Amino acid sequence: MLRILALLVLLLALSPARAVSSVLLLELDGVIGPASKDFVLRGLATAQTRNAELVILRMNTPGGLDDSMRDIIQAILASPIPVASYVAPSGARAASAGTYILYASHIAAMAPATNLGAATPVQIGGGFPGGQDEQSEAPAATPVSANDQAQNKPSGQSSDQSAQSDDTDPDEVLDRPPDESIDKPLSGSAMERKITNDARAYIRALAQLRGRNVEWAEQAVVQAASLSAQDALAKNVIDLVAVNVADLLTQLEGRTVQVAGTDRILNLDEPVIEILQPDWRNRLLAIITHPQVAYILMLLGIYGLFFELSNPGALIPGVLGGICLVLALFAFQVLPVNYAGLALIILGFGFMIAEAFVPSFGILGLGGVVAFITGSVILWDDQSGAFDVPLVLIIGFALASAVVFVGLGTLAWRSNRHPPVSGDAALLGTTATVLDTIPAHSTGWVRLHGESWRARNAQEQTLTAGETVRIRAREGLLLTVAPEDTHAA
């Protein structure tokens, strides 16, 4: 019996240990921008370094910037590790840019009561507003959820189409011949057609690559179509519906996916799930590039520079203002800034400052507040609403700026009206320090403004060294002093 047990122990020791697969879980929550792109790219690189079996990209996003979305998609397509994009938890969405990422992933999954779609691109970008013809260069465009647009029609959709889509069953739209739906020539400007057709071709290529529903993908771009999780599964838009991550891994166990042109069987039996958290660099980038934070940094930068110029040598306002302004300019490079709005904000500040020095009966101040609010509202050149600054914050800063600039300017103007004081008038009433004992009605020395002065004690009491006295009169280089608490007769 002992020999049998020893043999079993030996066999167990010699048998190879079962390899434990690892799964890396990335959380993509909120607007897709530079911070989320940096996080996903670093996560995919980490998964490759650790030779993970699978990367789960759990998404809940209304959309985001086109450049960031395309960088994420390129990283997914080039990843040697399978990526499963999972729209979760229930109630989440993968709208607009999230739909593109879902189509690009090796595995597309959704939780119950989630939705995707509304991938119509919305033109954004810097520059002053104005018409653009067909020969102008295409600016950056962001696929942002059409559901987030307040009563805005998707690009390329006429009012008749919009009214028709409200009363039309999505199944009927899918059953229409191509020439009655997505193949119909797009309306809108030449630039809108360019951007929409580019996005349409992009998502079509992704759908063909992953073998998913091509026609509906184009409808999501052209007609801003959306689907629930169950409908997406029925129409071959996604691969599966999973209640949670555990259910997702159970359904993916043994599944064959194509990665870099080769078939790969997923080994997900009792995997080790590691949740990758953003590091300090990614958190800082997310904070700086948040539209509201960038807006506040810009205002703080202007405040700091104004205070430094008003009081040269203070240093602290100038240093902090310069740092805030540089950070704001960095954020403006990666965010869809409307430079007309930025110019109005600066003009508004100028009007509010001028109100304190130029008698305009409030016209400049009122114009400054109006310009500031208008510029703040249109600062982010984005029709989706994903980058909007709350109106309460804008009005609050406008009123605070008006009070600060007008108040400080008024004080500076009043101080400039006072005539300069010098000579005896500048000395009388100031305090000095006794350097040595001065008996009553005798003379001695006091220190005034860093200088030693001859002083006469006109009082009946002796002044001791270190005592503080007040200057009562001056005769040439001789001062008449009295104890600080003694009032002049």
The backbone torsions φ and ψ at residue 399, rounded to the nearest 5 degrees and listed phi first, read -65, -40
Judge whether 44 lies within some domain.
Answer: yes
352 with 371, same domain: the answer is yes
| Concatenated DSSP letters of 450-467 | TEEEEEEE-SSSPBPTT-
35 with 173, same domain: the answer is yes
Nearest in space to 480 (alpha carbons), one of 459, 452, 449: 459
Question: Domain boundary residue among 220, 247, 280?
Answer: 280
Judge whether 402 lies within some domain.
Answer: yes
118 with 255, same domain: the answer is yes
Whether 86 contacts 111, CB under 8 Å:
yes
403 with 431, same domain: the answer is no
Question: Domain boundary residue among 412, 436, 462?
Answer: 412
pLDDT score, position 423: 59
Nearest in space to 440 (alpha carbons), one of 402, 486, 391, 399: 486
Judge whether 10 lies within some domain.
Answer: no
Judge whether 7 lies within some domain.
Answer: no
Looking at the structure of the chain, the number of domains it has is 3
Question: pLDDT tens, 437-453?
Answer: 889 888 999 998 888 89
Question: Domain boundary residue among 246, 280, 314?
Answer: 280
**Cα(338)–Cα(121) distance, integer angstroms:** 18
pLDDT score, position 461: 86
Q: CB within 8 A of 73, min separation 6: which ones?
A: 100, 101, 104, 206
176 with 299, same domain: the answer is no
**Cα(398)–Cα(392) distance, integer angstroms:** 10
97 with 235, same domain: the answer is yes
Judge whether 351 lies within some domain.
Answer: yes
**Cα(457)–Cα(481) distance, integer angstroms:** 6
What is the helix (H) or strand (E) element at residue 262, kind and residue range? strand 262-265
313 with 396, same domain: the answer is yes
307 with 455, same domain: the answer is no
The backbone torsions φ and ψ at residue 264, rounded to the nearest 5 degrees and listed phi first, read -135, 130
384 with 448, same domain: the answer is no
Domain span at residue 431 reads 424-483
100 Rama sector, left if φ>0, alpha if ψ -120 to 50, beta otherwise = alpha
pLDDT score, position 134: 38
What is the helix (H) or strand (E) element at residue 58, kind and residue range? strand 54-60
245 with 391, same domain: the answer is no
pLDDT score, position 39: 92
pTM of the prediction? 0.61
Judge whether 123 lies within some domain.
Answer: yes
**Cα(214)–Cα(143) distance, integer angstroms:** 18
Q: Which two tokens stand for residue 192?
A: 């809108």
**Cα(194)–Cα(134) distance, integer angstroms:** 9
435 with 471, same domain: the answer is yes
pLDDT score, position 313: 74
Other beta carbons within 10 angstroms of residue 40's beta carbon come to: 26
What is the helix (H) or strand (E) element at residue 34, kind and residue range? helix 34-49
101 with 182, same domain: the answer is yes
Looking up residue 148, the CATH number of its domain turns out to be 3.90.226.10
Per-residue pLDDT of the chain (489 residues; tens, 9 = 90+): 566 666 665 555 544 444 568 899 999 998 888 888 999 999 999 999 999 999 999 999 998 888 889 999 999 999 999 999 999 999 999 999 999 999 999 999 999 999 999 888 875 444 434 444 433 333 344 454 444 443 333 333 333 433 333 444 444 444 444 444 455 555 567 877 888 899 999 999 999 999 999 999 999 999 999 999 999 999 999 999 999 999 999 999 999 999 988 899 998 888 899 998 888 877 887 788 777 788 888 888 888 887 787 777 777 888 888 888 888 887 776 666 677 777 888 888 788 777 766 766 667 777 888 888 888 777 765 555 555 667 777 777 777 777 776 666 666 666 555 555 555 666 777 889 999 888 988 899 999 888 889 999 888 888 888 889 888 888 888 888 888 876 544
Nearest in space to 462 (alpha carbons), one of 436, 432, 430: 436
pLDDT score, position 249: 94
Q: CB within 8 A of 409, min separation 6: which ones?
A: 353, 355, 356, 357
**Cα(95)–Cα(106) distance, integer angstroms:** 18
Exposed / middle / buried, residue 140 (Cβ in 10 Å: 0-12, 13-18, 19+): middle
Q: Which two tokens stand for residue 418?
A: 């006072």
pLDDT score, position 79: 93
Judge whether 394 lies within some domain.
Answer: yes
Nearest in space to 485 (alpha carbons), one of 464, 473, 466, 468: 468
Residue with tokens 């790969």: 264
Judge whether 445 lies within some domain.
Answer: yes
pLDDT score, position 242: 95
